[in-house]
Structure 1
Amino acid sequence: MIEGKIIKFYREKHRRTQGELVKGICSVTHLSKIERGMTEYSQEIMDMLCERLYIDMAREVTRYHQMNNVLDSWQEAIIMQRTAEAIRLKDKLEEEPLKGIPDLRLSYDLLQIRFYLFMNDIDEAERLIAEMEIPDESEHSYEHYFYHHVMGIYYFLTGHYTKSIQTLTSINQSKYTNHEYFYHLSLAYHSIYSNITSYYYAEKAIQHFRKTLNMVRIIDTETIMLVQLNSREYHDFPETKRRYENLIRICDDCGLTDRKAKLLNNLGYEYNRRNQYEDAVYWYRLALDIIPEKQPLYLMVLNNYIESNRLGNLIPANKLLDMSLKALHNSKLVADASYMELELQSVILQGQEQAYYEMIEERILPYYRELGSQYLAERYEEILFQYYMKHGEKDKALRLAKNRFKSQATLLI
């Protein structure tokens, strides 16, 4: 019973033992059963307990139910990507003392972690994860699988894609009704370039988002599906372009600038991989114009922009080098992959061929291997393999080939 939980919460809050609270009212055993919801009680006893705790039980029960509703609204705001509302509800919940009741506390703690991951505040999320305790009795409950969902998101955002997949696939979808996690599974599989599986989960995710009228996530999922269609071979390009432009228009209508920037970049990439460099530069430039320079996405798009200009001989190498060095100097994202990729671009723009391949060998390739990013690791392995063969370093080429065969065999197990 809710009343028993409330009595226990305020008793512990006032640091009173059961014996101290019930003196002259009832037995300790009776109070213990009330607190655990295992017995009936008289209204007279409840009134006396509330008087000693200075609480109005009817008001507290109403607040308990209201807090449950606010927690549900907070989760919905995060899922629907409504940032301002999510921040407002977080502030409201911080002022609510009843969040300390154990069953509410678990939901509140999980949603706090989910909120900070949503806001990309990884440090605060990590602090809360370290403090998190999941009760044994919650195993196979909604909260148990919500914890797995949250941890799957955390592993994804910290670049541990394989661990993210292992965590998210452990969720029982019949017991965990928040099928938003299919979207995060699709993202994780996309990040290791498992395109068919990514597309499969994207289809499941978009069904859920259509049912819940989550337009923002519909756009995000449609974007993933487009990327998968074009991942290994060229899809019908006029159709691809039409779908991208349609999603860009929807972003304009909904005021989704951040999503629009990603779509513009993706469309630029589709032109770039078809060696249509002038068109690629056009779309990259549109993306750069609306991305704040402090965001990791800015460095990634800038790197793509510089590469297309370099490959198409559209801007002199010295001007492209100045552009990249200036961006690196102004950026604080030194640990981000986009920073490292732009550093690599700067090396090749300076004509330092040996330094370019050394950086791939010593920094780029180990980084993507550790992340479990199969596609990017294979891409740089191929670049190194060709370099080794060209310069007669056959032992290195053989070791690289063996390592690649071993990693591919592991994926088949």
Structure 2
Amino acid sequence: MHIGTFIKYYRIFKGMTQKQVGDGICTPGHISKIESGHLQITEDKIKLFNQRLNINVEKELKAYKKLQLDLELWHDVMIKQVNGKIELLKETIEQNPLTKIETLNGTFKLLKARYFIMKGEVIEAAFYLSQFSNKRLSFHMFEYDFQLYYHIKGMYELAKGNPQTALKYLEKIDRDIYSNPEAYYYMSVCYHDLGQYDKSLRYSQLALNYFKETFNFTRCVDAATIQLVAEGRSEESSLASLVEKYDELIQHCDNLHDHRRKAVLQLNLGNLYRDVFDDRKARDAFQMAYGLLKHESDKEMYANSLFGYIDSSMNVDGSANNEKYASLVEEGQASVRDMKNPCMETFFTMLEIRVHEGEQAYYQYIENVIIPLLKEEGKYAQCNYYIQKLYIHNQMDGIKAKGKECVLS
């Protein structure tokens, strides 16, 4: 960072031209070279510019370096998810006029985008990320900021439900310039969402190692959770060993008083039991997740836990409590309408059909709508679950099975 940057910033801030600033000191051409860093400036001239602009350039340089450190710290506490410090630093940084300096403005806007992604406010995040199509802003960015952009743009695309696009950005990161291993966590989530569980397992281990090294215990739970899901798709892992690992992580969340992460684990545990058709245990896990998420802001997880609870409960009870389930289905439908999630709306329509039209209509909907939808979405593990469920129903119902279909991921 050179002194000319501050002269330029305060000249523009005070509405002065290069001629006005340089009057009696040097020519506008010299001012231009000083501002761009192509001309050294003597101590005598620094004093004259200080008087002309009514600033202390050397003091401002120290303030600039302090702001750089604050931005680095802000990113660090966002990675560690230390909520109190995140808000405190946000307030401090936003009040600092030096964020308008071009070489820091890009970093500031990227971290604002990350802040809004963390809050689940993707529209606000998009506003800041869209500004990087501005060539002027990009021109003044450090090489490190370009890599930071790939990291945060990847997070943004993942939050929007585009894991393939997110992965393209995350894979662009040059590790020699930007060595932040947290990006591995988001890569593991991308591969998980794409059904590539071997790669998800590999990158979640890299992320877990980083979180352990930095004593980031809450994020250790995140990485370990992704690992467990990947292990659950492996034929080498037994159900008993997976359940034991889930119980350990759930206990860890209890120790941390982290209800949201505990809910995620209960939701995943419910899915694990559901996949092996242990509906009673699945129901209990989904019910626990539903109870924990009912007053949380994460609507997608809430809807998933509610769906799992209704579906597994009806597998256990049949039509014994249809009035109760009809009310819960309406609750779920209202939630997914607010989310504008057509896929989840389809799943709650399936439950509505089950409640009001009966089992035969429910299984017809699985065959005609759910299985084709999951194939189209590339959700092969979930698709295979419904194929298997339909196959078992057809066998039990005395219908000649068409042959067990296999979907290759």
Tell me whether the two structures share a fold, i.e. TM-score over 0.5: yes
SS at match of 1:350: helix
Q: Deviations over 1:49-81 (max 9, x none)?
A: 122222122331221111111101110111111
Q: Which moved more, 1:47-56 or 1:3-12?
A: 47-56
> Alignment RMSD, CA only?
3.3
Residue 249 (1) aligns with residue 240 (2):
no
Residue 324 (1) aligns with residue 329 (2):
yes
Contact 1:165 1:188 in 2 (8 A): yes
Q: 1:258 to 1:315 in 2, by over 3 A?
A: farther
Q: Deviations over 1:242-284 (max 9, x none)?
A: 2111111111111211001111122222222233222222222
Cα distance between partner residues in 2 of 1:80 and 1:35 = 38
Q: Which residue identity does 1:116 align to in structure 2? A: F
| Alpha-carbon shift at residue 175 of structure 1 (Å) | 2.0
- Counterpart mapping for 1:10-409 below 5 A: 10-132=10-132, 133=134, 141-233=143-235, 235-293=237-295, 295-313=299-317, 316-318=320-322, 319-329=324-334, 333-336=338-341, 337-351=343-357, 353=360, 357=364, 365-366=372-373, 369=376, 372-376=378-382
Question: Runs of 5+ in structure 2 lacking a partner?
Answer: none
Q: Deviations over 1:97-143 (max 9, x none)?
A: 10111111111111111111111101101122222236565799221
Cα distance between partner residues in 2 of 1:203 and 1:265 = 21
SS at match of 2:357: coil
Cα distance between partner residues in 1 of 2:130 and 2:374 = 25
| Alpha-carbon shift at residue 12 of structure 1 (Å) | 1.5
Q: Which moved more, 1:87-96 or 1:125-134?
A: 125-134
| Alpha-carbon shift at residue 83 of structure 1 (Å) | 2.3
Q: Which residue identity does 1:350 align to in structure 2? A: H
Contact 2:3 2:58 in 1 (8 A): no
Q: 1:129 to 1:385 in 2, by over 3 A?
A: farther
| Alpha-carbon shift at residue 27 of structure 1 (Å) | 2.0
Contact 2:351 2:362 in 1 (8 A): no
SS at match of 1:333: helix
| Alpha-carbon shift at residue 299 of structure 1 (Å) | 1.5
> TM-score, normalized by length of structure 1?
0.85
| Alpha-carbon shift at residue 211 of structure 1 (Å) | 1.7
Contact 1:252 1:260 in 2 (8 A): yes
Q: 1:13 to 1:380 in 2, by over 3 A?
A: farther
Question: Runs of 5+ in structure 1 lacking a partner?
Answer: none
Q: 1:314 to 1:355 in 2, by over 3 A?
A: closer
Contact 1:296 1:333 in 2 (8 A): no
Report the number of matched residues. 398
SS at match of 1:84: helix
Q: Which moved more, 1:327-336 or 1:1-10?
A: 327-336
Cα distance between partner residues in 2 of 1:280 and 1:386 = 18
- Percent identity of the aligned residues? 24
Q: 1:172 to 1:236 in 2, by over 3 A?
A: same
| Alpha-carbon shift at residue 338 of structure 1 (Å) | 3.9
Q: Deviations over 1:385-413 (max 9, x none)?
A: 9999x9x9xxxx9xxx9xx99xx6xx8xx
| Alpha-carbon shift at residue 17 of structure 1 (Å) | 1.6
Cα distance between partner residues in 1 of 2:369 and 2:266 = 32
Cα distance between partner residues in 2 of 1:125 and 1:46 = 40
> TM-score, normalized by length of structure 2?
0.86
Q: Which residue identity does 1:304 align to in structure 2? A: G
| Alpha-carbon shift at residue 286 of structure 1 (Å) | 2.0
Q: 1:126 to 1:161 in 2, by over 3 A?
A: same
Contact 1:264 1:287 in 2 (8 A): yes
Q: Which moved more, 1:158-167 or 1:310-319?
A: 310-319
Cα distance between partner residues in 2 of 1:93 and 1:139 = 18
Q: 1:320 to 1:234 in 2, by over 3 A?
A: farther
Contact 1:114 1:150 in 2 (8 A): yes
SS at match of 2:181: coil
